[in-house]
Amino acid sequence: MAFIAPRVLCAFTLTASLLAAPAVWAHAHLKHQYPAADAVMDAAPQALTLNFSEGIEPAFSGITLTGPNNQQQQTAKAKLAPDDKKQLIVPLSAPLPAGRYQVDWHVVSVDGHKTKGSYHFSVK
């Protein structure tokens, strides 16, 4: 009987750690964005808005916006939405001319994990 209790405790601890592990490995994944991926906009947006699956650190997050002829577009500093720590807003410094744009984003979630990705949209 003396050997059963440690084995039960060990099995319980292992099971509990396996169930908790996905939460520890969480990353901020891009859920949706404006302009949407592959969208064709009639008018240029004034800002890019990216929504993530968990809170992010704006000081370590941002985007690079590349436009027609691979010209990097000027943007203002990325910031969080006032009421949503999962939403990154990047104001544009100037109106975007017609063309196809690539958004390369990188974020650090509040738990310290880094993620990155990219998508395209177009302006008529």
Q: Does residue 9 surpass a pLDDT of 90?
A: no
Half-sphere exposure of 60 (CA within 13 A, CB side): 14
Average pLDDT over residues 25-39: 92
pLDDT of residue 91: 97
3-state secondary structure of 110: coil
pLDDT of residue 58: 94
Q: Does residue 22 surpass a pLDDT of 70?
A: no
3-state secondary structure of 22: helix
Q: Does residue 38 surpass a pLDDT of 50?
A: yes
Q: Does residue 23 surpass a pLDDT of 80?
A: no
Percent of residues, the chain, with pLDDT higher than 90: 78
pLDDT of residue 77: 94
Q: What is the arrangement of strands in the sheet containing 79-81, beginning at the earlier edge strand? A: 30-34, 47-52, 84-91, 79-81
pTM equals: 0.78
- Which domains, and CATH codes, for the chain? 27-123 (2.60.40.1220)
Q: What is the β-pairing status of strands 30-34 and 47-52?
A: antiparallel
Residue recorded with tokens 């809170």: 55
Torsion angles phi and psi, residue 16, rounded to 5: -60, -40
Q: What is the pLDDT of residues 45-104, one digit of tens each?
A: 999 999 999 999 999 999 999 999 999 999 999 999 999 999 999 999 999 999 999 999
Beta carbons within 8 Å of 114's beta carbon, 6+ residues apart: 27, 106, 107, 108
